[in-house]
């Protein structure tokens, strides 16, 4: 019997017209995931945020953090790694040195305390004046110097009654140099700053070797300052030269022989007391004069 031939059965391929739905579904899924991620990162985990804030604050030695706008950024007391400088803390300046040490601040001081400080400071300056007077008298120079206490401190005036400076000149006379040799050891041992003030007399004549009285008075002040520095070994950081010309006479220019006294150099031992205290010096001195 003849064998029946087998014919291969080939089915017709079925075309998929809905494949676009797969791509669309994938896109929708990705968009959903994107929005979920964006939503997730927009929400702050308060617990984790607090942990981050505390960790950063601890790293800087503070218990509060600037992450929250209403929180203080200043460290709480006792938790900072070092004690901050207080607003009213002030460094002691050289001009605040008294004869016996640094001066404390008189901010908002009681008036009675300020007056008591003024009396104590005047007493110290008077003690220094008597000490200098004894030394000058021992060397025979008592009449070459006039001393007074005012708001600035103790003024030691090198008057020219015995020719400290010659007319029109800033060169120190031999006698003036000896006076400074006597004063220097005492001045050298003080902590106070010292102003060296140059003065001329009130004669209205142009100086012979200088353009005006200002230059002449400045040259005289510098001459004395240099002598105290180079020969008296007074700390130059404490010395300043000031020129006054004929503007600040020692005595009334109308008095006889006043011109010789007004032509001078003043060595001023500056008081280290506060300004309020120094303003009371004159009151204290007048009270002492009344007894």
pTM metric for this prediction: 0.61
pLDDT value of position 133: 96
pLDDT value of position 96: 46
Residue with tokens 């007493």: 123
pLDDT value of position 229: 96
pLDDT value of position 86: 47
Comparing 147-156, 250-259, 263-272, which segment has the lowest mean pLDDT? 250-259
Parse the chain into domains and list their residue ranges: 18-85, 95-290
Comparing 1-10, 52-61, 181-190, 220-229, which segment has the lowest mean pLDDT? 1-10
Chain length of the chain: 291
CA distance 158 to 109: 37
Query: What's the CATH code, domain 95-290?
Result: 3.30.1330.60
Residue with tokens 């009396």: 119
Q: Are 252 and 207 in contact (CB under 8 A)?
A: no
pLDDT digit string (tens) for 49-91?
677 667 666 665 554 444 454 444 444 444 444 444 444 444 4
pLDDT digit string (tens) for 15-47?
566 777 888 888 899 888 888 878 777 766 667
Query: For residue 288, is pLDDT > 60?
Result: yes
Rg over CA atoms, the chain:
44
How many C-beta atoms lie closer than 10 Å to residue 271's C-beta? Answer: 28
Q: Which of 234, 172, 233 is nearest to 198 (CA)?
A: 172
CA distance 135 to 246: 30
Q: Which of 128, 70, 73 is nearest to 99 (CA)?
A: 128
């Amino acid at each position: 019997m003849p064998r029946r031939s087998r014919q291969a059965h080939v089915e017709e391929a079925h075309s998929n017209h809905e494949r676009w739905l797969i791509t669309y579904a994938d896109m929708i899924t990705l968009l959903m995931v994107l929005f979920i991620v964006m939503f997730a990162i927009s929400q702050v985990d308060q617990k984790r945020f607090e942990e981050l804030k505390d960790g950063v604050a601890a790293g800087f030695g503070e218990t509060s953090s600037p992450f929250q706008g209403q929180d203080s950024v200043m460290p709480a007391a006792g938790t900072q790694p070092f004690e901050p400088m207080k607003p009213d803390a002030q460094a002691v300046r050289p001009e605040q040195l008294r004869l016996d040490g640094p001066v404390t601040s008189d901010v908002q001081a009681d008036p009675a305390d300020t007056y008591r400080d003024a009396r104590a400071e005047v007493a110290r300056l008077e003690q220094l004046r008597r000490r200098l007077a004894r030394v000058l008298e021992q060397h025979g120079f008592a009449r070459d110097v006039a001393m007074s206490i005012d708001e600035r401190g103790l003024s030691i005036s090198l008057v020219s009654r015995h020719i400290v400076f010659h007319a029109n000149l800033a060169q120190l006379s031999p006698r003036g140099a000896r006076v400074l040799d006597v004063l220097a050891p005492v001045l050298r041992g003080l902590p106070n700053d010292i102003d060296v003030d140059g003065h001329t007399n009130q004669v209205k004549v142009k100086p012979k070797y200088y353009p005006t009285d200002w230059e002449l008075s400045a040259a005289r002040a510098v001459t004395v300052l240099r002598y105290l520095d180079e020969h008296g070994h007074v700390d130059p950081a404490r010395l300043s030269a000031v020129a006054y010309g004929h503007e600040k006479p020692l005595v009334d220019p109308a008095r006889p022989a006043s011109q010789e006294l007004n032509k001078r150099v003043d060595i001023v031992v500056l008081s280290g007391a506060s300004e309020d205290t120094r303003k009371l010096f004159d009151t204290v001195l007048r009270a002492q004069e009344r007894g």
